[in-house]
Structure 1
Amino acid sequence: MAIEVRIPTILRTYTGGERAVESSGDTVAELVESLESAHPGIKERMVEDGAVRRFVNVYVNDEDIRFTGGLETELSDGDTVVILPAVAGGSAVRGAARRPA
């Protein structure tokens, strides 16, 4: 079963710089194990205490796995899995014009 996994920049050190890798598994959990086997160290960056890390988002065919079964989300041949680190923060731009009240 071939599944394309899109790798964010921050995790590409584990995949030799590859933006996407092919992996396999019947569930996301099995896919993560397969990724770890081929790219040691990647699992630790994705999973903690048996769940996807809080600031990591995983999508299967554009669906957030937090709403489809988490690591037990089922996969099919040809699926695309996207790993995205959550982005937070930001601040007002200094010196920016403010809107009148």
Structure 2
Amino acid sequence: MAIEVRIPTILRTYTDGQKAVEGSGNTLAELFTDLESRHAGIRARIVDGDQLRRFVNVYLNDEDVRFLDGIDTKLSDGDNVTILPAVAGGSSAAESLPAAAGGRALIGR
């Protein structure tokens, strides 16, 4: 069973810089174990115990696995799995700072 796994930039040190790798498994848990056998250390960056890490998003064919069966989500031959680190945004507090401090200049004030 061939499954394409898209690797985010931050985890490519584990895959020798590859953007995508092939893996196999009947579930995401099995897939991550398979990836670990060829890319030591990657599983610990994705999984904490028997759950997905809080700040890691995993998509199966563009659908968030947290809305499926999480790490127990079933896989099929030809599936695409995308791993994305969660991205946090900035703060609206910067808008009230003076321009010299990184905020927007307030024109007309």
TM-score where L is the length of structure 1:
0.92
Q: Point out 4+ residue stretches in structure 1 off by more than 3 angstroms.
A: 97-100
Match of 1:29 in 2: 29
**The residue matched to 1:30 in structure 2 has which SS?**
helix
C-alpha offsets along residues 24-47 of structure 1, whole Å, 9 cap, x if unaligned?
111000000000001000001000
Closer, same or farther: CA 98–73 of 1 in aligned 2, 3 Å: farther
Percent of matched pairs sharing the same residue = 66
**The residue matched to 2:34 in structure 1 has which SS?**
helix
C-alpha offsets along residues 35-90 of structure 1, whole Å, 9 cap, x if unaligned?
00010000010000210000000000011111100111000111000000000131
TM-score where L is the length of structure 2:
0.85
Larger relative contact order (CA 8 Å, sep ≥ 6): 1
Match of 1:74 in 2: 74
Structure 1 or 2: larger helix share? 2
Structure of higher CA gyration radius: 2
TM-superposed CA distance for 1:95, in Å, is 3.7
Unaligned runs of 5+ in 2: 96-101
**The residue matched to 2:36 in structure 1 has which SS?**
helix
TM-superposed CA distance for 1:96, in Å, is 1.9
Unaligned runs of 5+ in 1: none
Closer, same or farther: CA 99–20 of 1 in aligned 2, 3 Å: farther
Aligned: 1:19 with 2:27: no
User: What is the aligned-residue RMSD (CA, Å)?
Assistant: 1.7
Distance, in Å, in 2 between the alignment partners of 1:89 and 1:9 is 19
From 70, 95, 104, the equivalent of 1:96 is 104
